[in-house]
Amino acid sequence: MGLLNRKSSIKLYRKNHATTVATRSPISHCPLEKCPRIDTAQVAAKVESFKKWTIGTFKNSKQQLLEHMGKIDKTVDPEFEAQCEVLKDIHRRYGHVVAAAKNFSQVLSQMAEAEKKFSESFYQLSLKEEQIKAQCTTTSETMRGVGEQATSLDACLKYFISSMETVYNQTITDTLHTIYNTESARIEYDVDRNDISAAANPPQGQQPKTLPAGTAEKCEERKLKYEKLKNDAKIKMRLLEENRISVVATQLEKLQSALAAYYSGNAKLLEASVRELSILQSPQPSFIPTM
């Protein structure tokens, strides 16, 4: 009798345990239809986009390499390319001016600080040396004036540097950005143009290749894009030259006046130069139209 009761208890325990496990099973709380699904169409679109980008990048790099080796022809506009090289060289030279002006300003600022400390040291000495107080005071005042003039010239330099940085980092750079975009568009156009030419004129003994549909239309679109960007770049270079010369000439005249006043010891003229430069607006890139 006791054996039967024990077996019945074991069966009941197993049944209850199985029910508990089934209840706690994560499957019952996470139905299959609620699990996240992968959007295969989106993945396929991304893969296709990456494939096109990879192929395009390879073709553009190959085009540039073959051009450099002289094994393939490219679209050439000698006048336009010469203008671009001149502007790139001017941009580099403005960078040198900005770097040199900053270095000069740093040295001048340090010198002005040293002159002021020199002046202060003579003033402190005059408080204790009664016999040479007049000489110490005169020297102190002279050095203080020289230090103030150095500070004024440094202020002029900072206005000049601000203007040159705007020309270097904004106005010329904006035009160069359009030039680089034009060069990229030219390479893309030449890739399609040379593909069409190679397909139509295969090596001797080979059959002409059939290109994908729409290749000619795409080539024409890239040609139009290249021509438009080139025209935009030409307009920007012309406007840039006209306005750059005017702006920089004005800044240079004011800087020359400040330098002449500083090295001649004309404190009043130097102060006037500082005021004039502070009034001048730094050249803005707004005279270059957005295209």
User: For the chain, which residues make up each domain, given as ranges?
Assistant: 73-201+212-287
- Let me know: does 285 contact 174? Beta carbons within 8 Å: yes
pLDDT at position 228: 95
pLDDT at position 161: 92
pLDDT at position 283: 46
pTM here is 0.70
> Can you name the CATH fold of 73-201+212-287?
Substrate Binding Domain Of Dnak; Chain:A; Domain 2 (1.20.1270)
Q: Which residues of 40-49 are buried (b: 16+ CB within 10 A; e: fewer)?
A: eeeeeeeeee
- Let me know: does 164 contact 82? Beta carbons within 8 Å: no
The angle that helices 78-126 and 172-200 make with each other, rounded to 10 degrees, is: 150
pLDDT at position 257: 87
pLDDT tens digit at each of 291 positions of the chain: 444 455 555 555 555 555 554 455 454 455 545 556 666 766 666 665 655 556 667 666 666 666 666 667 778 899 999 999 999 999 999 999 999 999 999 999 999 999 999 999 989 999 988 899 999 999 999 889 888 888 888 988 998 999 899 999 999 999 999 999 999 998 888 888 888 887 777 766 666 677 777 888 888 999 999 999 999 999 999 999 988 998 899 889 888 888 888 888 777 777 777 777 666 654 444 444 454
pLDDT at position 15: 56
pLDDT at position 21: 47
